[in-house]
Structure 1
Amino acid sequence: MKRRSFVKSTLLTGVTATVLPAMSKATEPAPKTAEYYELRVYSLKNVEQQKIVEGYWKDIAIPALNNLGVKHVGVFNEFKPDAQTRLFVLIPFNSLNHFSTVTESFDSDTKLQAKGAAYLNAPAAAPAYERIESSLLKAFVHMPHLEAPENKTRIFELRQYQSATEAAGKKKIEMFNDEGEIDVFKRLGFKPVFWGETVIGPQRPNLTYMITFDDLEAKSAHWKAFGSDPEWKKISAMPEYADALLVSKITSTMLVPTVYSQI
């Protein structure tokens, strides 16, 4: 029998939840329900901007987040950038309430504001970055919590599937949750870090996930195995899950973690 999860998250309910008063401490234990992730992408003009942003995350933001119950903060550079690298930051939260509480704490912490002045209060004539693109994602039911891989040299692939309609996007998520596509990734050794539906952010409707490899050769081998896997062929052959119906665009970004990244 199929496991029907019926993902219920919507932009309206997500926004409503974020404005409710924070009722528990930021250090609340991880719940059984799905986590939320903030995915930030910094556009940087030069090495100086990168130093300022990375210094803020390494020395100020990550320690503060850890103290507030946020674990496994990931910070990544592009594997082979065309120009100045973009910086990707992945921040997991136990719940929307946790997200709200952490945000309020950052805004009211005068010591943190002072320490992070070079980043937070950079002059308009010399900004710390060009722009931040930020998305809020809800973890999939079948992988409700982030799974940090073993701490060793590796590369990461961040993939986004855009859909033409919200119904198509929900159907693609159902394919991962209820038909066992996530299980195929895990069985074949992709070591996924997270799967998330974008509830607030650009290019909606879309889903985003992160997988890992030892190197580019391993990446090629894993995707080859995936394409020929009997279970994947069975799932993808179902007419209701045809990519032509559910996916309008796929983007793939190869990343490498910074030395201080917790993922």
Structure 2
Amino acid sequence: MKKFFFLFVFALTAISVSAQREFYELRVYTMKFGSPASGLHNYLEKALLPSLNRQGVKNIGAFEEWSQDNPAKIYLLIPYESMAAYEKVTKAVNSDKVFTENSAEYNTITQDKVPFSRYETSFFNAFSGIPQLIKPETGSMVFEMRTYEGYIEDAYQRKIKMFNEGELQIFKETGLHSVMFGEKIAGPQMPCLTYMLAFKDLAERDANWKKFSDHPEWKRISKLPEYANTVSNIHRVFLKPLKYSQL
């Protein structure tokens, strides 16, 4: 009987661990026109990312937009095991002596040469359907990030359900290579969700989105009444990895 109880508890624990949903931080730096960006890049590459890695945070994405519009933007995607882990890691980074040393040059940038005007932070809980970030294949150079706004919380929740119970599987079958799917819990544009896909190039991206739109299961579920009017607006940006990106 004791053996059975132990195995039962072990099984429940394994299920709990496998289902643990990650917690994502997405930073968007709005760069200042005319100011050198090198100060920020050096800080991220040589100070912040290595310090996060030392605290066990892996697969950090660092991107810039494919477009050459101004102001330029730098994106940083940081996956944490949980919200509690985010708090723990943040405290550890702030007390990391190596991080402090490697940040010295960044912290002495004068106001007239600061590389960005502001940065915006958003936080997400991973979808239950994709509870952990999926590292893309080597050579992925096109990252598509989409944000779907819902006109009200119920619409937003129905769209999440649509992904978890149908769309994610179709994405997998049609080569829309998922990186992360997140329910935004803090940041602009709420209520909304954000997800990221990875492709080797735009040709693969275009071909596989067509496969998705032609997929019979997508055509079926997109017409279900329960999923009507779930998305009121879509924001899309194409990103390319910076040299120090870990994705």
The answer to whether the superposition gives a TM-score over 0.5 is yes
Find out whether 1:234 has 2:234 as its counterpart.
no
Q: Which residue of 1 aligns with 2:83?
A: 96
C-alpha distance in 1 between matches for 2:126 and 2:81? 10
| In structure 1, distance between residues paired with 2:236 and 2:191 | 16
Q: Aligned residue for 1:205?
A: 191
Asked which structure has the greater CA Rg, the reply is 2
Q: Does 1:136 align with 2:120?
A: no
Shift in CA distance, 47/191, structure 1 to aligned 2, threshold 3 Å = farther
Unpaired runs of 5+ residues, structure 2, are: 1-16
In the TM superposition, 1:12-91 aligns within 5 A as 32-46=19-33, 48-91=35-78
**Distance change in 2, residues 1:185/1:56 (3 Å):** same
Distance 2:30 2:91 in 1: 25
Residue 245 of structure 2: aligned partner: 261
Aligned counterparts of 2:48 and 2:35: Cα–Cα separation in 1: 18
CA pair 236-121 structure 1, distance change in 2 beyond 3 A: farther
- The answer on whether the counterparts of 2:46 and 2:102 sit within 8 Å (CA) in structure 1 is no
SS of equivalent to 2:37: helix
**Percentage of identical aligned residues:** 39
Q: Is the 8 A contact 2:181 2:195 kept in 1?
A: yes
Spell out, residue by residue over 1:73-104, the C-alpha distance to the aligned partner (whole angstroms, 9 max, x if none). 00001012213521000000001111001111
TM-score (norm 2): 0.88
Letter in 2 for 1:66: N
Q: Deviations over 1:100-155 (max 9, x none)?
A: 01111122234422321333453333323111011001100010000011121421
> Contact (CA 8 Å) 2:28, 2:74: kept in 1 or not?
yes
Question: In 2, distance between residues paired with 1:121 and 1:246?
Answer: 47
- Residue 6 of structure 2 aligns with which residue? none
Paired residue secondary structure (2:111): coil
Separation (CA, whole Å) in 2 of partners of 1:104 and 1:35:
18
Q: Which amino acid aligns with 1:56?
A: Y
Contact 2:64/2:242, CA 8 A, preserved across alignment: yes
Of the candidates 223, 235, 239, which is equivalent to residue 251 of structure 1? Answer: 235
Q: Normalising to structure 1: TM-score of the pair?
A: 0.83
Counterpart amino acid of residue 262 in structure 1: Q
Please state whether the residue corresponding to 1:260 is helix, strand or coil.
coil
State the distance in 2 between where 1:206 and 1:164 align: 9
For 1:87 and 1:183, the matched residues in 2 are separated by 30
Gap regions ≥5 residues in structure 1: 1-29
Say how many residue pairs are matched: 231
For 2:97 and 2:53, the matched residues in 1 are separated by: 18
Q: 1:175 aligns with which of 152, 162, 167?
A: 162
Give the superposed CA RMSD.
Answer: 1.6
